[in-house]
Amino acid sequence: MERDYLTNLLPLHLFLREADKILKNNPDCRYAVTATDLSNFKYINDLYGMAEGNRTIQEMAEKFFSGNPRCILASRPYADQFRSLIAIGDVSQDEEVAIITNMNTEFTEYIQKRYPNIYFHVYTGLYIIEDNSEGIRSACDKAHFAKKCFKGNLSVTCGIFDSNAYKDSSNVMRLTHEFQSARERDSVYVYYQPKCSASTGEFIGAEALGRIADKDGNIISPGEFIPVLERTGIIGDFDDIIMEKTFADIRRWIDNGGNVKPVSLNISRIQFLKPGLIDKILALQKKYDIPSRLIELEITETTFIESVDFIDDTARELRRHGFTIDVDDFGSGYSSLSLIATLPADTIKLDCSFARQCLDNDKGVILLSGIINILKSIGFDIICEGIETERERQRIMELGCDKIQGYYYDRPMPSASFEEKYITKQ
């Protein structure tokens, strides 16, 4: 049978084949899969030569695998990375972690003495197979994932597979792929939700909201994909598409003689902190010839507070060009009114959860009334989000807020539906 020239371990394809056979033929036996790595291995080759690097790999293979009676099969897929199938019998999860931790610590100390100029870390991801019909490839993937979860954490030498973290990681990959595919299919859409006068019901503006559709045309909840795009850093790409399409829609509405009102765009923290945002917006304005008064830029309260120095300059420059700046989700963070008073913004959008909680009790109503009056007195326009009932509309209007947004008037809707209902002049 083919063997690795250096360690005499199986090549990966044979390891996978033989391990699957073992699992299939021994359904009642308990096994675990490990993924083991040696950090900074390359520096042995660089500082001490290839012969010393080979020696270290051979010693790892002997200690952890060839010379380990509990190891059934092992492979070296890459230079200093190993996979193994071990029989664990009645050993508990905690006991197995302790066994591997001790082995890793012993070997780390051993080679650290031999190569004192390099800091080493032997670390292992452990996956205990619960169902032997699962398949070795899946088990190896999970062991590798367990190892990746604590890579760089030098205080940990063995980490156990976490199913919740794995599901979260898989979900991130799935939704990232959904966005990339939607972009290629031109299935990233702009939905619009109207803003209305609480007293008259008059349409006074709208918020542009990004949506993506899967390959079957189903809209994926923004609460599901937005956090993923933010975590992966590609929310800026999403923002760019929504901005471009919104500017194009406004241009079309103007050309068709529509009832065009200001539209607000959500700008993510990542987008706001990237150089070139102002130039990007000005380029879109020039391309579509849109008056600045028709564009409002929304930045969350948290983003404003956490990055106030940088955002302050950018927001002031955008206002100098005639754009309106909105502070979104006010009340969801922990900013003080004194800090809010210094922000270069025009409109405060009250967070729907904050406003609803305040409206539920007398003290909350007094608090909300005071906040609205203070903000209005220092020159802010106020919009209350998330209004869904007649009672909420009436109460918020009595407290001095006449501009509202929420399901009471309309849900977010596709561009064509919004245009027909609110933009096209009857």
Distance, in Å, from the CA atom of 14 to the CA atom of 1, rounded to the nearest integer, reads 9
Among 316, 293, 298, residue whose Cα is nearest residue 204 = 293
12-161 to CATH, choices 3.30.70.270, 3.40.50.2300, 3.40.50.10440, 3.30.1050.10: 3.30.70.270
Distance, in Å, from the CA atom of 333 to the CA atom of 392, rounded to the nearest integer, reads 22
Tokens of 400: 């001095």
pLDDT attached to residue 334: 55
CB 344 within 8 A of CB 315: yes
Distance, in Å, from the CA atom of 396 to the CA atom of 400, rounded to the nearest integer, reads 7
Q: Give the pLDDT confidence of 239-258 residue by residue, as tens digits.
A: 999 999 999 999 999 999 99
* Per-range mean pLDDT, top range of 55-59, 331-335, 354-358: 55-59
Q: Give the pLDDT confidence of 65-74 residue by residue, as tens digits.
A: 999 999 999 9
In the sheet that 31-39 helps form, which strands lie side by side, from edge to edge? Answer: 71-78, 81-87, 31-39, 121-128, 158-160
Q: Is 237 exposed, middle or buried (0-12, 13-18, 19+ CB in 10 A)?
A: middle
Lowest mean pLDDT among 182-191, 300-309, 322-331, 407-416: 300-309
Q: Where are the domains of the chain?
A: 12-161, 174-423
Distance, in Å, from the CA atom of 296 to the CA atom of 206, rounded to the nearest integer, reads 10
pLDDT, mean over the chain: 91
β-bridge partners, 299: 327
Q: Is 94 exposed, middle or buried (0-12, 13-18, 19+ CB in 10 A)?
A: exposed
Tokens of 63: 């200690």
174-423 to CATH, choices 3.40.250.10, 3.20.20.450, 1.10.1660.10, 3.40.309.10: 3.20.20.450
